Structure 1
Amino acid sequence: MRVVSLGSGSSGNAFLVEAGPQGRTKLLLDAGLSTRMLTTRLASVGVSLAQIQGILVTHEHSDHVQGIPTLLKSQRMPVIADMRTLKAIQEGVRTGVWRTDSGRVVRAKFQDESAVLATMQTTEIVGTTMLLEEGDISVVTPETSTAIKLPHQELPAGSRLKIGDIEITSFAISHDATAPCGFLLQAGGCRVCLVTDSGEVTPTMLEHMQHADLLILESNHDRERLWRGPYPWHLKHRIISATGHLSNDQAGEAVLKIWRERGMRWLWLAHLSRTNNTPGLALESMRLYLRAAHVNLAYIKIVALPPTLGQIWDSTQLWQ
């Protein structure tokens, strides 16, 4: 397996995951960057958009899905998510507005500034029923008035799905989205777990996290920095709520609960707030938790992901 962080943070999130001989199975994990940015960053690691076989989506906030409309217009690839998330994405594409991670509603920025309408199966839209083939999303542009039918794949929270060489296990997390999910991805005996955008760590999340060789875990904010920071009170309370975001302390506590010497070897701290955190704070907090529990830091490599092109992990490192 190979995992590439294409961008992590409130400005946009996306990862490339590939597995199999010559990396023949390639998936995007979220698409919260513009198509132009995704194209450029993928090209820098030797991958083109045409090679992507699906977009696995955690939830419908703009920093995880804003690149999808233009991707769907230029590439034939399924959007893979819980059906409730798929419907929320559909509504965002239909109306041209997204809900941001902070709860605001913003206008979608399509690269060609054209409106895009999307529906799945049989859906009521403003009193008009549009009949579509099951398993397809129809994207209609006003300049062509032509429906481009693109497949989607439902992956209910708590279920499994295999795409090519990658087996995906979905599990529920705690965030103020429609049906937010984390994912455990397995291929060739290697396991990667993604847990971001969750206000608390549940037993279900810990059960999946403990199997990871590479854990991508949210470490969004430093609590003291958040409370002293410029955000309005309602937003601060939303962030620290059970459906908000994990703090550095919560991330450290979660890692200690699943730690074992022959377990996880790589830890990526993700979705860092530019206002309420720094890479240095997130890293030092995690190291303090591990040292206090007498964990030998030689057993684990910890990095804080940037909003730009970041880390690349290759499972061959497991055997080194």
Structure 2
Amino acid sequence: MRVVSLGSGSSGNALLVEAGPQGRTKLLLDAGLSTRTLATRLASVGISLSQIQAILITHEHSDHVLALPQLINRYAFPVVANSKTLRAIQDGLRSGVWRTDAGRTVAAKIQVEESVSYIPVSAGKEVEVTTTSLEASSTIVELDHPESGDTLERATPQAQLTFPHQILPIGAHLTIGDIEVTSFAISHDATAPCGYLLHAGGCRICLVTDSGEVTPAMLEQMQHADLLILESNHDRERLVRGPYPWHLKRRILSPTGHLSNDQAGEAILQIWREVGMRWLWLAHLSRTNNTPALALESMRLYLRSANINPAHIRISALPPTMGQVWDSTQLWL
């Protein structure tokens, strides 16, 4: 596997994940940058947008979906998310606006030639991804183990989706090429936000950002990761004393807001084991209420408090620009 951070933070989030022989399976996790920025940053690591096979979306805030209108209009790859998030995306496309992480709105524009409804399926069945009138070849993927609480409803006019998509219920598993994807719930003020655990070739990466708290369900998935991408959004004191209006501070500090440096550190201590995670990327850092130095030092303090040898884990803080590149071959070095 290869993982590339294309951008992390309130200005836009996107990750590239490759797996299989010659990296034949290529996925995006979120698309919160402009299409031009995505294309430029992908090109810098030798990838074009036309090579992407699917986009996994964590939730519908603009810093995670900004490029979707243009990507949907130009390319045939499906948007993968749970049914509630897909409907929220559809609402954004129809209304022409996305909601930002801070509650404001930004433009979301696309021209779709015809509407296509999705077909509900049962766990374990093969699913043909629905497409718009874009000239696209269908992609076959497999679903299993959906949570009973996120069953697929029968198609109705309200449920019709006008873009290529694949429904991945929260708690379900989905195979896309060489990568097995597991979705799990997180706690954020979006419609149905989720994190992802991706597994390929004996390696696992886990993405957990935009959550106001760490739940047992999240810890269960995080403990399997070789590379964990974990939100460390703010320093609590810096946020409280900072320039944000109180209603925004309250939102960030709430159980449906964002993880602080301290919460990230406490989560790592709960999942730490000697033969577990070896790489940690601290993500979604606030430019106003945090710094890479603060986030890194906070995490190291937590590790030292538990007598964890810092040589056993490599920690990086992701920037809003091109960030870290991780290759699973490092596991064997």
2:102 counterpart of 1:102: yes
- Give yes or no for the alignment of 1:209 onto 2:222: yes
Equivalent position to 2:117, from 118, 121, 126:
121
Aligned pair 1:47/2:47, yes or no? yes
Q: Find the aligned partners of 1:14 and 1:280 in 2 and give their Cα distance.
A: 22
Shift of 1:103: 1.3
In structure 2, the CA distance between the partners of 1:178 and 1:299, relative to structure 1 (3 Å rule), is: same
What is the CA-CA distance between 1:115 and the residue it aligns to? 5.6
More strand by share: 1
Indicate conservation of the 8 Å contact 1:94/1:116, yes or no: no
Sort the Cα spacing of 1:62 and 1:139 in 2 relative to 1 into closer, same or farther, 3 A.
Answer: farther
Q: Secondary structure at the residue paired with 1:298?
A: helix
User: Taking structure 1 as reference, are residues 211 and 288 closer, same or farther at Cα in structure 2, changes over 3 Å only?
Assistant: same
Corresponding position of 1:184:
197
- For the Cα contact (< 8 Å) 1:18–1:24, is it kept in 2? yes
Residue 210 of structure 2 aligns with which residue?
197
Aligned to 2:158: none
Distance apart, 1:261 and its partner CA: 1.1
SS at match of 2:32: coil
Aligned AA for 1:215?
Answer: L
1:64 has 2:60 as partner: no
User: Which residue of the other structure, out of 268, 293, 316, is the alignment partner of 2:306?
Assistant: 293
| Root-mean-square deviation over aligned CA pairs | 1.8
C-alpha deviation, 1:106, in angstroms = 2.4
Are 2:235 and 2:295, in contact at CA under 8 Å, matched by a contact in 1? yes
Matched, 1:85 2:85: yes
1:136 aligned to 2:130?
yes
Separation (CA, whole Å) in 2 of partners of 1:139 and 1:71: 14
> Does the alignment pair 1:225 with 2:261?
no
The Cα shift of 1:104 comes to: 1.5
CA distance in 1, matches of 2:296, 2:14: 21
Counting only pairs closer than 5 Å after superposition, residues 143-292 of structure 1 correspond to structure 2 as 150-292=163-305
- Decide whether the 8 Å contact of 1:95 with 1:117 is kept in 2: no
Q: TM (normalized to structure 1)?
A: 0.90
Q: Is the contact between residue 60 and residue 88 of structure 1 (CA under 8 Å) also seen in structure 2?
A: yes
Q: 1:136 aligns to what SS in structure 2? A: coil
Distance 1:56 1:224 in 2: 34
Which amino acid letter does the alignment assign opposite residue 199 of structure 1? G
Q: Distance in 1 between matches of 2:11 and 2:276?
A: 32
User: Per the alignment, do residues 159 and 291 of structure 1 end up closer, same or farther by CA in structure 2, a change over 3 Å counting?
Assistant: same
Cα distance in 1 for partners of 2:84, 2:114 equals: 15
Specify the SS of the correspondent of 2:164. strand
State the alpha-carbon separation in 2 of the partners of residues 193 and 68 from structure 1. 22
Identity level (%):
75
Give the CA deviation at 1:94: 1.2
- The TM-score normalised by the length of structure 2 is 0.86
Q: 5+ residue gaps in structure 1?
A: 123-133, 141-148
Cα deviation code 1:183-236 (max 9, x no counterpart): 000000000000000000000000000000000000000000000111110100
Aligned to 2:5: 5
Q: Deviations over 1:22-55 (max 9, x none)?
A: 0000000000001100000000000011100000
Q: 1:87 to 1:187 in 2, by over 3 A?
A: same
Structure 2 residues not aligned, in runs of 5+: 119-127, 135-161
Distance in 2, Cα, partners of 1:27 & 1:174? 24
Relative distance call for 1:8 and 1:20 in structure 2 (3 A) is same
Q: Is the 8 A contact 1:283 1:303 kept in 2?
A: yes
AA aligned opposite 2:43: A
Measured in 2, the distance between the counterparts of 1:139 and 1:209 equals: 39
CA contact (8 A) 2:72 2:164 kept: no
CA distance in 1, matches of 2:93, 2:296: 37
Q: Does 1:308 align with 2:302?
A: no
Mean Cα displacement is larger for which, 99-108 or 183-192? 99-108
Q: CA deviation at 1:304?
A: 0.2
1:130 corresponds to which residue?
none
TM-superposed CA distance for 1:118, in Å, is 8.2
**Separation (CA, whole Å) in 2 of partners of 1:301 and 1:256:** 15
> What amino acid does structure 2 have at the position aligned with 1:298?
A
Q: Is the 8 A contact 1:69 1:116 kept in 2?
A: no
2:185 & 2:54 partners in 1: Cα distance?
A: 20
- Distance across 1 between alignment mates of 2:208 and 2:32: 16
Instruction: Quote the residue 1:16 is aligned against.
Output: 16
Structure 1 residue 136: Cα displacement: 3.1
Give the conservation status (yes or no) of the 8 Å contact 2:96–2:107. yes
